[in-house]
Amino acid sequence: MLFTSLVQLFFPHLCEGCQRDLARRENILCMRCVRRLPVTGFQRYVNNPVERAFSGRVGIRNAMAGYYYTQTSMLQQLIHRFKYRRRKDIALYLGRRLGHMLLESGWLHEIEGIVPVPLNTVKEQHRGYNQAALLAAGIAAVVQKPVFDQVLHREHRAGSQTRRGRSSRWENVSDAFTVKDAATLYNRHLLLVDDVITTGATTEACSHALLAAGASVSICSLAFTSD
């Protein structure tokens, strides 16, 4: 007990949301901040807003997002930390939370593998990791499905999507993704994982590439915004 107290004194274990000390069984977020996260519940509903966002655009099977995304929110800050401040532990934690949400869906049993949306090579080398792959790893730890993180390839260095509108985003990524090993994916039902869906252009482009390889696709995003 004395050793534990000394460790917490010199290396405080603080909540990423409110900066208060975490209890022994808490990790990354305290229970109070967990309850503040804007959960969607989409995994439990057919024709939810994420599924409707892709209707008529690409032939996916199912879709969900764990949380609503808004600027300046606690979730936005968490995403910023794992994307730009090397907090891989936050991405893995949120991935595990997504995994538990997927256990509530009626279609998880159909999934045969998990595919993260890839980064372009230059960006991944600069960042040191792909945040979608970390989310996928967190999901896999809960749902016990294999991760295929080397099969979907980003063909060229598309510029940042952040400040682009829907049509510009689609033009930027429409031919950016190819499948390296189509035989691995053929006739499999895959879960495509990304961090945030805004216009859905990147997710749509990845889905088209997987469908062209003979797979069927469902989508899981950490967060969703219709703005």
What is the 3-class SS of 18-87, one letter each residue? CCCECCCCCECECHHHHHHCCECCHHHCCCCHHHHHHCCCCCCCCEEEEEECCCCCHHHHHHHHHHHCCC
Give the per-residue pLDDT at 134.
Answer: 98
Residue 159 predicted with pLDDT over 60: no
Which is more confidently placed, 223 or 71? Answer: 223
- pLDDT > 70: what percent of the chain? 85
Give the per-residue pLDDT at 123.
Answer: 86
Which is more confidently placed, 42 or 1? Answer: 42
Give the per-residue pLDDT at 121.
Answer: 84
User: Contact at 8 Å (CB) between 61 and 218?
Assistant: yes
The predicted model gives 62-85 an average pLDDT of 95
**Nearest of 218, 37, 29, 184 to residue 111 by alpha carbon:** 218
pLDDT in tens, 129-148: 999 999 999 999 999 999 99
Tokens at residue 137, please?
């790893």
Q: Range with the lowest mean pLDDT among 157-166, 197-206, 217-226?
A: 157-166
pLDDT in tens, 4-42: 444 444 445 899 999 999 998 999 999 999 999 999 999
